[in-house]
Structure 1
Amino acid sequence: MTKTAKDLVAEANKTIETLSAEEAMRLVDDPSVVLVDVREGEELLRTGKVRGAVHVPRGFLEFQADPTSASHKPELGGKRLLLYCASGNRSALGAKALNEMGIRNVAHVAGGFAALKAAGAPVQEGD
């Protein structure tokens, strides 16, 4: 194996914008920002999600962010996207992929949902 998953996450973190949970908390109610939960549906059912977050499983992110895709989610267009997952790894990879697609108004949350919840993020029942 040439690169590990850990290597890929480390590379992503060098090229993307990363916000702390506290910084992200200041954006939760900002109408120009869309929080995007990239965890799997089962995770949301178990733990809930940040209030108002759009759920886009990591495996569908590129398709649902692409306005030319049949599965595009309009909520992902025209606003700053703030991605989070459980701990910050999948969201880092997702932010890097979106940047590679030319979507520049994207960042991710270090520490993911766990950090957001610890910082007092408003949580609602999952998807």
Structure 2
Amino acid sequence: MADDIAEISIPEILREELEKSIAAQLGYAGSVTPQQAWDLLQSGEAALVDVRSAEELKFVGQVPGNVHVPWATGTALTRNPRFVRELEAKLASRGGKEAVALLLCRSGKRSVSAAQAATQAGFTHVFNVLEGFEGEIDATGQRGHADGWRFRGLPWVQD
């Protein structure tokens, strides 16, 4: 498997994460920090795929230039049965199942499940964005005060 990694054309930081992921048997390509994700998106080396619901994007905010493929939909967060097909269609112009995709959710947990499902469906370079868009819940029961995309001061917009 290590020889296969050497032939993959991905940025070095992702190659390192992929090697760690294989060793740890994560079931997806690995994880990147929010800053690494933004840098890769800006350089055109990866697509940022927001897997949150449409409601979350509208009311909480989103990263400019993202691709939206919800892992779950509605306020009940019902699993999207078309997730893999929609992901492949949205990434078709970027290499389809070979595209480098960085999955972002609220806290970095849903995106792990989505990355595992995409990998099981044959996607080869799907990475999780650690901390998510809003981050973990802090001691006061709120998000966005300790980590996450917005906390890190990275670009985002809101309707």
Determine the C-alpha separation between the residues in 1 that align with 2:84 and 2:43.
Answer: 23
Give ranges in structure 2 of 5+ residues lacking alignment. 1-24, 72-79, 135-147
| Secondary structure of the corresponding residue to residue 86 of structure 1 | coil
1:123 aligns with 2:140: no
TM-score by length of 1: 0.75
Structure 1 residue corresponding to 2:86, chosen from 64, 70, 86:
64
Instruction: Give the counterpart letter for 1:48 in structure 2.
Output: G
Percent identity, aligned pairs only, is 32
Match of 1:73 among 72, 77, 90: 90
Gaps of 5+ in 1: 1-12, 67-71
Give the structure with higher Rg (CA): 2
Which residue, out of 22, 27, 34, partners 1:15? 27
**Equivalent of 2:49, from 36, 51, 54?**
36
CA distance in 2, matches of 1:102, 1:42: 28
Matched, 1:104 2:137: no
SS at 1:18 equivalent: strand
1:92/1:52 CA distance change after superposition, 3 Å: same
Q: How many pairs does the alignment contain? A: 109
- Cα 1:76–1:94 change in 2 (3 A) is farther
RMSD: 2.0
Higher relative contact order (CA 8 A, sep 6+): 1
* 1:95 correspondence with 2:115: yes
Query: Comparing 13-22 with 108-117, which one deviates more in the overlay?
Result: 13-22
Q: Is the 8 A contact 1:25 1:116 kept in 2?
A: no
Equivalence for 1:9 = none
Partners in 2 of 1:121 and 1:28 — Cα distance? 12
Aligned in 2, Cα 1:76/1:116: closer, same or farther, shift over 3 Å? farther
TM-score (norm. length: structure 2): 0.61
